[in-house]
Amino acid sequence: MMEQLEPDSPFSNRPLAIRLNGILNEATLIQSLSEIIRRHEALRTVFPIQDGQPFQKILPSWTLTPEIIDLGSLPEPHREAEAGKILKRETQKKFDLINGPLIRGVLLRLSDQNHILLLLMHHLVFDGWSESIFLSELRNFYGAFSQTKNNKAISNQNIPLPELPIQYKDFTLWQHKRVNEAFLSDHLNYWQAKLGNALSPLRVPTDYPRPYTRTFQAGSVSMLFPQALVESLTTLSHMEKVTPFMTVLALLQTLLYRYTGQQTINVGVPVAGRNHSETEPLIGLFMNTLVMSSDFINDPTFRQLLTHVKQVTLQAFSHQELPFEKIVEVLHPIRERNTWPLFQVLLNFRNLPQTDSRPTEHLHIEPFSFEWGMIGGLDLSLDIKKCPEGMHCQFSYPVDLFREKTIQSFAKHFRNLLENVIANPDKPVGTLNLLTPEEHHQILIEWNNTHEEYPNACVHELVEKQVNLTPNAVAVVFQEHQLTYEELNQSANQLAHYLTKQGIPPEATIGICVDSSLEMVIGLLGILKAGCAYVPLDPRYPHERLEYMAEDSKISFLLTQGHLKTVLSNHKAGIICLDSDRDLWSRESIQNLQIGCTEDSLAYVMYTSGTTGQPKGVMVTHRGACNHLYWRHDYFGLTPSDLVLQKASLSFDDSVWEIFEPLTSGAQLVIAQSEQNQNVCYLIETVIQQKITALCLVPSLLWLFLEEPNVRRCHTLRRVTTGGEELSVELQEKFFQLLNADLYNGYGPTEATIAVSYWKCKPGGNSPIVPIGKPIRNTQLYVLNPQLQPAPIGVTGEIFIGGNSLARGYLNNPELTGEKFINNPFGQGVLYQTGDLGRHSRDGNLEFIGRIDDQVKIRGIRVELGEIKNSLNQYPQIEKSEIVTTGNSKKDQMVIAYYLSKNRQQISPQILREFLKHKLPDYMIPAAFVYLASIPITPSGKIDRNALPSPQREHYINKEVVQPKTETEKNLTRIWQEALNLSEEISIHDNFFELGGHSLSAFRVVSRIRDIFKVELPLRCLFESPTLAELTKVLDVALSLEQVHK
């Protein structure tokens, strides 16, 4: 089947390279090779197709005459290199499975006594065990024929080996009979029970997106376990009453568990399949592959895991007679053309029969390995072979998925893990160290070396310092009104003095519920100067939410405006209207206060959404806020000539830097109107008229901002920051096409004070993800597994934050604080557990992958919604998208895509599905695609998922049965029904494999198409176009081309 799917790929070739040192008689060599071919029918077998099914056909005996290539004319130092090129080139040549032969040879003559024989066999007739048989017989026959006068054929009595009692065809007939016998139901029941819930593909983190069509080009990384380490491995195995193979299998599965986070790890293990002595001397494909499926639920110790793996291995071996292909057919896993079914990683622990390496007369025959650069459909293959020096490990990988450095790291972690399990077999496997000392230092220390001594200060003290420097400069502008730094400071001082006279204690919480205005800034600064913490209360929030926040935070006073006085009516706090009640506090002192506020004092309490349905109050100190402001001063370097547009609601922490970065830098703060802060036309006009130089927009709003034609007139903009949502590569590129400004992608939750990392975006590049950068000053970022072990570079884990940026915790919620703010296992203080997934790139920058709670399971398989979103956004007419799941249970859960189109027109769901099937497996393709004129957003500018409309019938791909109409569709329907043994009606949008199709039934379909339509359709067409409608299009094109040809 794989040959039909990938007809141009030679990955099923099995090369056998043999060094021939000594005096070679080429006629004797040919005679020996021909005798081996005569003895073994498998080497004379071809596979024609009849009635849609391949069958074995044995050709008459024939003479194999290798092509001879003389390299003797080359300079001696160049011969080996040229030989290597020829070997690699020859292995790329395809076999004709239908006509054969499936063995060929090339003889390279490097000198009179140095030859290389390359034999190529197709894997259908040759396995690893066959290699030892072939070499043994070659030595025997060459030795015997060399002793015969004039190389004449010797008599049957003198042939050094007895005739074979059975042939490969006898084994296949016997196996076919057994597979269809009732006693195999025991084997089927075992594999169904063992693998029925273990069908999720293993997603080892790759360096490159998985291509729809694999090249099968391979690289390899080798490693030697020294003899001392092998002896320790053997000792551990004996102590636990397991074999070294079981220990290595457990080790590999542990490493894959640590790399993927998946709790069920499937690894393929080839077995000889020669369970009867009669098959041992036969050449042929007897090999079977067993799926070793181990569970890592509850993070077992390695000793516990060994017991489990031993049980898994023994059970699997006791059920090894069922061919892997039959298991795939019965289990019917979701098939992806670019992913191997049931397992994606193979462990080949070589235990092949030893051959006699003694030289024949005048000639030494010895095999050797070479890099021929091919791998099957696997993601990774580990080949282990014992040698005198210890244990040789070779990791083979597809170059279209991985860089060499990534697999080198994987190999190092494999060895580190072995050393750790030998030393600590009773530690949970999730806690074992993978990293080398150099990696450990780089990830934990070097990339978090952010220490910087900043003066201890409070936010308002930084403002006061700036007032002394530029008292007469304009500090804040709102519409036609403005305040100088001195005027702002004096007004805030008056308010602060008034508040302190009301007997408000230090760190008291004061609510502020105002619209954008000069009073808003005065109120914030006045609260801080009074030694209190402000609690933003957005007047546009629902009344119940505001009441809860006011009650939970126990505000002492509420600062508001006259027209908002009734927004909060049930609280007990005193009310001060900053506009109409100005006379109450405008007669107070204009001098700065001395109230004993420190950097550890509370600066504000900001409420964020909570999983319980009630918002939670995050307590942020002056230390965290000032640390961020100090860093911004150093990194961005605002000057008095800058103008910053403040548009974020006070309830979102972007407002903190929008207000206080310019006020502590001597720049000018320009306030946008509250009711217009999501209106991109207004924002653009404000940027142009006010000559704004710095602006912050979340990606959702940035999209709309860039769509407006006038955006090109924003010439004064020199810095735009974004964050809060994922920044797509497409949006980044669009920004640089339209604006001559810097773009920064920030990351950070409210619990870590505004943002903890930034990335200065760059146009171009091949990465599918825009990084979120490196940690700011006095901040540490860690990517950890659930056991708080650092994840290797490139491996996804949860992001944890440490350092001065952290909030104090959650107001009135010590349980949640203790749950989310944990002790720092790498140093002093605590870490905040974000719930965000990320990974380190090799340059130390972080990449945001998504939320832990964005991981869902569809049809039992883990799905990352972010991966679907990134793929859909690559469609040329998609402007942006949002992916959600719907359904009240796992059984009816579906993926739904919402999107904006660039031409403001709906796109056919079928077209989008057709696009995505080249990027995603079928189970990840959304069931519905909903076009939106605009995506609803929250007051913070983020996407409001709760406001997304429910899909209607026209949004779904396959929501109703569509009867076949054309003759081609009707004929294909009958073919499908016959191949699948179905009597019920088939919709033209039904998927062949979802209806129960598998490799053999696919062969039948292609064969019947050839019989009925008289056209040859490659098998891969059915995998690429699995619905009846899609296959009809392919077939109609093929019929048209056939007609033109005639």
Q: Does domain 967-1045 have CATH number 2.60.40.2550?
A: no
* Fold of domain 859-957: GMP Synthetase; Chain A, domain 3 (3.30.300)
CATH 1.10.1200.10 domain extents, the chain:
967-1045
- Output the pLDDT for position 854: 66
Q: What is the mean pLDDT of residues 432-459?
A: 96
Please tell me what DSSP assigns to residue 442: I
**Residue 592 reports pLDDT greater than 90:** yes
CATH 3.40.50.12780 domain extents, the chain:
459-774
Mean pLDDT of the chain: 89
What does the pLDDT look like over 339-390, one tens digit per residue?
888 999 999 998 755 555 555 667 899 998 887 666 778 899 999 998 889 9
- Output the pLDDT for position 183: 60
Nearest to 526 by CA among 557, 485, 494, 565: 494
Segment among 252-261, 849-858, 884-893 with least mean pLDDT: 884-893
Nearest to 19 by CA among 83, 63, 101: 83
576 conformational bin, left if phi > 0, alpha if psi -120 to 50, beta if neither: beta
Q: Which pairing describes strands 380-387 and 345-349: parallel, antiparallel, or unpaired?
A: parallel
CATH homologous superfamily for the domain 172-433: Nonribosomal peptide synthetase, condensation domain (3.30.559.30)
- Output the pLDDT for position 280: 92
Please tell me what DSSP assigns to residue 445: I
Per-residue 3-state assignment (H helix, E strand, C coil) for 30-46? HHHHHHHHHHCHHHHEE
Q: Look up the CATH number of domain 459-774.
A: 3.40.50.12780
* Percentage of the chain modeled with pLDDT above 90: 62
**Residue 181 reports pLDDT greater than 80:** no
Could you give the C-alpha distances from 707 to 92, 535, 710, in angstroms and in order?
Answer: 50, 35, 9
What does the pLDDT look like over 856-899, one tens digit per residue?
656 545 566 877 888 898 899 998 888 888 754 433 467 889 99
Q: Cβ distance 120 to 93 under 8 Å?
A: yes
Distance CA 993, CA 335 (A): 8
- Output the pLDDT for position 888: 44
- Output the pLDDT for position 201: 87
- Output the pLDDT for position 862: 55
Distance CA 1026, CA 1037 (A): 16
Distance CA 293, CA 458 (A): 57
- The correct CATH number of 2-162 out of 3.40.50.2000, 3.90.550.10, 3.30.559.10, 3.40.47.10 is 3.30.559.10
Q: Cβ distance 578 to 519 under 8 Å?
A: yes
- Output the pLDDT for position 940: 57
SS3 11: coil
pLDDT category of residue 508 using cuts at 50, 70 and 90: very high
CATH 3.30.559.30 domain extents, the chain:
172-433
pLDDT category of residue 462 using cuts at 50, 70 and 90: very high
- Output the pLDDT for position 892: 47
**Residue 735 reports pLDDT greater than 60:** yes
Distance CA 857, CA 385 (A): 38
What does the pLDDT look like over 467-479, one tens digit per residue?
999 999 999 999 9
More reliable by pLDDT, 497 or 325: 497
Helix pair angle (227-239, 404-423), 10° resolution: 50
More reliable by pLDDT, 708 or 147: 708
Could you give the C-alpha distances from 957 to 393, 908, 909, 919, in angstroms and in order?
Answer: 47, 9, 6, 17
Could you tell me where the DSSP H helices lie in 366-427?
A: 404-423
* Percentage of the chain modeled with pLDDT above 70: 91
Most confident of the ranges 636-650, 671-685, 851-865, 1012-1026: 636-650
CATH 3.30.300.30 domain extents, the chain:
859-957
Distance CA 127, CA 132 (A): 10
Q: Cβ distance 488 to 522 under 8 Å?
A: yes
Distance CA 483, CA 506 (A): 28
What does the pLDDT look like over 810-841, one tens digit per residue?
999 999 999 999 999 999 999 999 999 999 99
- Whether residue 536 is preceded by a cis peptide bond, meaning omega within 30 degrees of 0, is no
